[in-house]
Structure 1
């Protein structure tokens, strides 16, 4: 154990938050998966617990491996991976998968393994790392809008257009994070306004095209519109059913909850172990459990800001913001949906909800952040060592 701890570098608070979220997730996932076990697994909830454990173990293996990689390597890796994720997104879209008549081309099956993988989550991490690399490259230089179109915005819009038909919420989150990142990276605001306007026009064009040719994207736009209308008007739809059950779960939880494994609404919520796990957590652990979980994400946000602020290189700072903040942002959206502060989106609760791809890509992002903080620790350790070896420096400090 001591040897393992000695090899763990980087921000210890981030390690602790990730570990606490993972440990906390076991009981809610085990409890909430009873619905899935009843529908698909012959009532065997233990299988889902083992599967979740395997996902987390692989996820923390990813954190450990990635945090050992010097973060400046991600500059070159982001360039290499952009064409790869574009190909993966094209393959995913080409499957033309439908669920209930709606376009659901989000997952791709890995050959010879039988594991499905949601390509948009990998694309998000790669794209934000790529944007951070480009912004660090042009930092302090005088730039024009024309010279940023091909190297910066073309990959962004290609990736987003490939994700949009099957997953609007993920597209919106990635675009929001890119806009925030380029703003913090010093990109001219007047150019950024042009990009935002172009994005709005492109979305409107896509919606009109989907309405004019329904066969191209079966029922997808109608699903988005119905979710927004349901959120605004409380219409009686499937999403309304989920929200009502989530609110009942939260109301039953009270302050201290009904106790682990004693949720009733887990049997009625279709996505009780993923999209709506926060409602199940409050039903079983009460307001105290919900606040505790929220405080972990707030602590993660604080540590991300500290790591970004202490990093001496622009790329490191932007990389932490780009891959780290979406974790907290996704958590906020998931919790907001459960309490009906946001329309139903299908976003999971990072490191808590079941689902392999979500866990692995969250762990990849955390590993990158820890790689940045590890570099800072190495610099500090070197400075301390040099001071200890320099008697003049020691004497000066003593005086």
Structure 2
């Protein structure tokens, strides 16, 4: 076993002694749970649509090693390198997002994907965390240096992103980006006039989506009045929680995965609850909550505004996505079509989340000037 001494000044040794190992461990646990639940949920889905039983399992496993490599590789970067990488990913991803409107295949009435050889990628998944880091930098610069139009530039980036999301259309991602952007707006201490304007814009957009988009109106109506339409998936998901009880029916004994079209993606939380019980659901919630609380604690201990804003923004993006997915599963929100981070099937989602959490790990590493010293009592540099 390789031992990394504190006197070792290599990049790997510096990373090992400065990275938040608890957050890293919990992220790895979530990825492991994703593998276990892929084995539980996806074979039944694959068989139902005439694919080999382990089709989705193999495809998901193919992305696990690259995802771990991306997360660890990005976490090795320093703060300046994280900003530069975010800018590159945002610029590239935004161009690809725009291309989905022109050459992207239509899937369930939306153009969100690009087919590159045998792979289908969803560029918006990568744009989200890069956008958050860039906005955090712009807001921080606006406060550090009077005269820098950081707020206006941040609003410009937001308008660009949500415009393309609305055209795809992908209102689940649009709402998520808006919620996180609004939270960062509030954290940046901007005037209530700006915050109120953003809130009014978001409300107007929601009303417009409800009025102009029949599928959005249908989802909201079915949530408010189940008798107004088909609530089959939600009803079966609720049945899964009921029949699973506290300890579950046992591995492989679940029934909901055999009848739900999206059991391996949007409703994998219901599959977990049916086979492993509400206890397993509480453990999953606890893992997500641990990452969110620990990242927020890091942000509170930082003096650098960019690190505060970026850390809070990234973990808000991560936590809200998990919250929305689980809330939909228990019928606390209208269906959104959003994956459960690191657990639902999806290569683009897995790699994009690894990228986002890699940046979070990089930004929360112990560094010179931090209020918190490493275990040895000496400051270290990242």
Paired residue for 2:101? 93
* From 108, 111, 115, the counterpart of 1:105: 111
Per the alignment, residue 116 of structure 1 pairs with 120
**C-alpha contact (below 8 Å) 2:75/2:360 kept by paired residues:** yes
Are residues 160 and 259 of structure 1, via their aligned partners in 2, closer, same or farther at CA, if it must alter by over 3 Å? same
| Alignment match, 2:132 | 128
TM-score, scaled to structure 2: 0.88
- Alpha-carbon deviation of 1:41? 4.9
Partner of residue 391, structure 1: none
- CA gap 1:71/1:30 in 2 versus in 1, 3 angstroms: same
Equivalent residue for 2:172? 169
The aligned counterpart of 1:61 is: 69
Aligned to 1:229: 221
Question: C-alpha displacement at 1:236, in angstroms?
Answer: 5.9
Q: Is contact 2:142–2:150 with CA below 8 Å preserved after alignment?
A: no
SS in 2 for 1:109: strand
How far is the alpha carbon of 1:72 from its aligned partner? 2.4
SS across alignment from 1:347: coil
Residues 253 and 206 of structure 1, relative CA distance in 2, 3 Å threshold = closer
**Cα deviation, residue 133, structure 1:** 0.6
Q: Any conservation in 2 of the 1:132–1:319 contact (CA below 8 Å)?
A: yes
Q: Secondary structure at the match of 1:332?
A: helix
State the alpha-carbon separation in 1 of the partners of residues 283 and 293 from structure 2.
15
- 1:373 to partner: Cα distance: 2.0
Q: What SS does structure 2 have at the residue aligned with 1:272?
A: coil
Counterparts of residues 249-398 of structure 1 (less than 5 Å) = 249-376=240-367, 380=373, 384-385=377-378
Does the 8 Å CA contact 1:266/1:280 hold for their aligned counterparts? yes
Rounded to whole Å, the distance in 1 between the matches of 2:378 and 2:334 is 54
Q: Is the 8 A contact 2:77 2:362 kept in 1?
A: yes
Is 1:155 aligned to 2:157, yes or no? yes
Residue 114 of structure 2 aligns to a residue whose secondary structure is strand
For 1:356 and 1:349, locate their aligned partners in 2 and report how far apart those are by CA, in whole Å: 13
- Alignment partners' CA distance in 2, 1:177 and 1:70: 24
Gaps of 5+ in 1: 212-220, 388-399
Counterparts of 2:113 and 2:3 in 1: how far apart (Å)? Answer: 38
SS at match of 1:302: helix
Distance 1:307 1:257, change over 3 A: same
What is the root-mean-square deviation in Å for CA atoms of aligned residues?
A: 2.6
Return the alpha-carbon distance in structure 2 between the equivalents of residues 149 and 132 of structure 1.
10
The 1:78–1:24 alpha-carbon spacing in structure 2 relative to 1, beyond 3 Å, is: closer
Sort the Cα spacing of 1:36 and 1:162 in 2 relative to 1 into closer, same or farther, 3 A: same
Q: Following the alignment from structure 1 to structure 2, what is the Cα–Cα distance between the partners of residues 117 and 285? A: 31
Query: Residue 395 of structure 1 corresponds to which residue in structure 2?
Result: none
With the length of structure 1 as denominator, give the TM-score of the two structures. 0.85
What are structure 2's unaligned runs of at least 5 residues?
Answer: 5-11
| SS of equivalent to 2:227 | coil
Q: In structure 2, what is the Cα distance between the partners aligned to 1:243 and 1:207?
A: 20
Q: Tell which deviates more after alignment, 6-15 or 366-375.
A: 6-15
The answer to whether the 8 Å contact 2:295/2:312 transfers is yes
Contact (CA 8 Å) 2:322, 2:340: kept in 1 or not?
yes
Contact persistence 2:327–2:333 (CA under 8 A): yes
Aligned-partner Cα distance in 2 for 1:117–1:108? 5
Indicate the structure (1 or 2) with the bigger Cα radius of gyration: 1
Provide, for residues 230-280 of structure 1, a one-character-per-residue CA deviation record: whole Å limited to 9, x for no partner.
000003644x10001101111110011011111111001110011000000
SS in structure 1 at match of 2:30 = helix
Preserved contact between residue 70 and residue 372 of structure 1 (Cα < 8 Å): yes
Q: 1:191 aligns with which of 191, 194, 204?
A: 194
Question: How many angstroms does 1:89 deviate by?
Answer: 1.3
1:241 to 227, 232, 245: 232
Deviation of 1:383 (Å): 8.8
Asked if the contact 1:246/1:265 (under 8 Å) is kept, the reply is yes
Distance in 2, Cα, partners of 1:241 & 1:64: 40
